[in-house]
Structure 1
Amino acid sequence: MSVFALILIVLAIGLVGFVLGRRKGAALPDAPGAKIHSRPVYHGSYVFSWAVVPAFLLMAAWLAISPIVVFSTVERRIEADTQSASSSLGRSLVRSLGQGIRALPADEQVGLETAGIAQIKPLFERRGIPLPGGATDAMVPIAVEKNHMEDVSRLAMTGAVLVVAVAGLFLSLSRIAVRLRARNKVERIVKVFLILCSSIAILTTVGIVCSMLFESIDFFSRISPSSFFFGTVWEPRFAAAGSQAAGQFGIIPLLAGTLYIAFVAMLFAVPVGLFAAIYMAEYASSRVRSIVKPLLEVLAGIPTIVYGFFALITVGPFLRDISADINGLLTGNFTGFIQAQSILTAGLVMGIMLIPFVSSLSDDIITAVPRSLRDGSMGLGATPSETVKKVVLPAALPGIVSALLLTASRAIGETMIVVLAAGIAANITLNPFEAMTTVTVKIVSQLTGDLDFTSPQSLVAFALGITLFVMTLILNIIALAIVRKYREQYD
């Protein structure tokens, strides 16, 4: 039985328990001196919780532990029965073989426990199933055994989960009584559920940090942190598996490119987006606002790869041709001083992409400023522009800073626009007309291709990721300090 079908069955059992519990709660006698504590709906929810929650917890634990047990057994068989391939490669081949065998009809799977590659190859070819390269005869019975263990585990899980669900239903039904505090118990379960939901973001962040941190520690055990953080040359020299070539991993060119391109993008997006927000919030009529705001927000829905194409095909060549015409008029040499792939190209296109982030968030923040502040300013004789400049914007500043922080984080993490508009050259330059690249582009580059994922050339991607994480964390701390300072003045 599939997991989805099992979930539906457990939910159906829970709904049956809810109906029975509610009906039994409604039939409880309201005896003198023993007033019913909870309403029938809480009795039904109490039975539903006991039928569903333990069953789902058991299912989650089983699904987490079962693959570990199965693959530990498979790994022991691989080490004992095969002489080639590492255990990780052997697991991958056995997994692929097992998936292929499972795709065969049931009658063709009979007798494969003693088969070899020669026997299953025609079966795979007849069904159009790719045969994994490198698989050996000894791996076929291991794959069959793995499939059998998974089937037994799934069957046992189904039985155990259904038993727990039914047992929880009858046990909770038997406990329904006049003074049962069903409401308190249900509310406690809901509170725990809400706490778990609120913890997902924290746990996800912890998981991301740990996944990057451990690999970064491995990288820094091979490469000096000083050469990484203070090096000015980025030449990782992609190495094949087993190669000892390390190269140079100076992050300074990547950090410079990341900050430079993000600065140019913010330099373009912040004034345009902020002025658009002020116009829509303070000056535009409701009709104009209903048209302009959705049109601006359409930009946020365009995929970044489309912005990259726009930069590569339109903006970059346009800037190059314009600079060539200007240079020709001034010097007679019609060679463009702006490269098609440059910091300016990437910054302008990224700025266009960021305009809706700034304008939409700032517009909502400015609109949320209390009307009483505007009326008080007008009552004292201030003009609309003075009101905006002296009252509205300072009051909205904490929210605007948060919006700009979100925009800056979006700019720092952009990849596709930079690849197509600024290139992949790790340069250090102050000239915005030349090409640079960013940290995110090199993270993709280092994790792409046929590389050894235990080499410094691949591990450096995790060091770059943790560095980028620390950068955004520092931005958040600075923004929170600014927000706290001004919020105290206008609360």
Structure 2
Amino acid sequence: MSNPAPAKIKRLRKRTAASTRQRMWRDVREKGIEGVLFMAAALSVLVTLGIVFVLLFESAQFFRHVSLVEFLTERNWTPSYANPKFGIMPLVCGTLLTTGVALAVALPIGTVVAIYLSEFAPFTVREVLKPLLELLSAVPTVVYGYFAIGFVAPMLQQIIPDLPTFSVLSAGLVMGVMIIPYVSSLSEDAMRSVPMLLREGSYALGANKIRTALGVVFPSALSGIGAAYILGISRAVGETMIVAIAAGMQPKVTINPLEPAATLTAFIVQVSLGDAAHGSIEYQSIFAAGLMLFLMTLAFNILGYVLRRRYHQAY
């Protein structure tokens, strides 16, 4: 009789070899996927570093001709005049003013919409209303700009007769409408991620829906809501076409939203049209303005990160 052991050993070796090849192939695929993901992450970091390098390099050329003290303290911004002045404060003031008007519209309305969609809206209403809101973010910003001067500004002039056609108020209101979806969508996602046990515990203690939404769900989701607010602020600070079309393009230090003003992004667009010679001090000023815009956005994001960590630990 033949001994079956060698045959079994051969089959076992074949299975072991096949299993080893499968593990090796799986390891190769996993390493390849990890490599692709790492390259994608590294590419985003390299692009960011490249942007920062260009801003710093070109801004250094600008600051060879303009002192940093003048740049930060001068109250006039007239780079194309015969006697140019390069005080960034009028552009910073216009940027912060339009952002403040936009946030005064977007944050309360976006938060109320998010609470309604998360806690009160029926499923069918939420499934229809949320995509319709998100369509607002798909409208080109140049359309919002012409909507501001063609509809919002004339409507406001019926209430405020002395209001000019180009003003911070009309641009800020339309910009606030534009960023409502960013605030409402992310805030609603954060509130819906709050565990149902917290709501049920609140109901068991006798609280109604509105008290549960404001006293339990909203504080528990504050970390995600804060992220939505920071995204809205960053979106408002970096908005270009609405303020370039509707805000008036007049750099001045003002806190009156009824007046025209210029923002950092609007000035960059104005110079980038081609009127300034490449390499001139006026052309290099757009990189200094871009660096200031980058630092402002970075400051808002760092503030948001600190607040998220604080409230995340609290809850």
Taking structure 1 as reference, are residues 459 and 37 closer, same or farther at Cα in structure 2, changes over 3 Å only? Answer: farther
Note the 1:248-267 alignment, pairs <5 A. 248-267=85-104
Note the 1:42-441 alignment, pairs <5 A. 181-237=24-80, 247-323=84-160, 336-441=161-266
Q: 1:215 touches 1:462 (CA, 8 Å); kept in 2?
A: yes
Q: 2:93 touches 2:255 (CA, 8 Å); kept in 1?
A: no
| 1:321 CA displacement | 2.8
Larger radius of gyration, structure 1 or 2?
A: 1
Gaps of 5+ in 1: 1-28, 43-180, 239-244, 324-335
Structure 2 CA distance, aligned partners of 1:236 and 1:30?
A: 83
Structure 2 CA distance, aligned partners of 1:190 and 1:294?
A: 33
1:469 pairs with 2:294: yes
Q: 1:311 touches 1:345 (CA, 8 Å); kept in 2?
A: yes
| 1:32 CA displacement | 4.0
| 1:246 CA displacement | 6.5
The two structures, once aligned, show a CA RMSD in angstroms of: 1.9
Taking structure 1 as reference, are residues 436 and 39 closer, same or farther at Cα in structure 2, changes over 3 Å only? Answer: same
Taking structure 1 as reference, are residues 412 and 35 closer, same or farther at Cα in structure 2, changes over 3 Å only? Answer: same
| 1:37 CA displacement | 6.3
Structure 2 CA distance, aligned partners of 1:207 and 1:299?
A: 32
Q: 2:154 touches 2:165 (CA, 8 Å); kept in 1?
A: yes
| 1:184 CA displacement | 3.4
Q: 2:152 touches 2:170 (CA, 8 Å); kept in 1?
A: yes
Structure 2 CA distance, aligned partners of 1:232 and 1:205?
A: 31
Could you report, residue by residue, the CA deviation over 1:207-244 in whole angstroms, capped at 9, with x for unpaired residues? 11111111111111111111112111000016xxxxxx
Q: How many residues align?
A: 306
| 1:182 CA displacement | 4.4
Q: 2:134 touches 2:185 (CA, 8 Å); kept in 1?
A: yes
| 1:337 CA displacement | 2.1
1:253 corresponds to which letter in structure 2? P
Note the 1:433-452 alignment, pairs <5 A. 433-452=258-277
Q: What secondary structure is seen at the aligned counterpart in 2 of 1:433? A: coil
Q: What secondary structure is seen at the aligned counterpart in 1 of 2:17? A: coil
Structure 2 CA distance, aligned partners of 1:37 and 1:268?
A: 64
Structure 1 CA distance, aligned partners of 2:274 and 2:303?
A: 38
1:470 corresponds to which letter in structure 2? L
Q: Taking every aligned residue pair, what percent have the same amino acid on both sides?
A: 42
| 1:422 CA displacement | 0.8
Q: Relative contact order (C-alpha < 8 Å, sep 6+): which is higher?
A: 2
Q: 2:248 touches 2:261 (CA, 8 Å); kept in 1?
A: yes
Gaps of 5+ in 2: 1-9
Structure 2 CA distance, aligned partners of 1:216 and 1:427?
A: 22
> TM-score, normalised on structure 2?
0.92
1:189 corresponds to which letter in structure 2? G
Structure 1 CA distance, aligned partners of 2:50 and 2:11?
A: 52
Structure 2 CA distance, aligned partners of 1:33 and 1:318?
A: 81
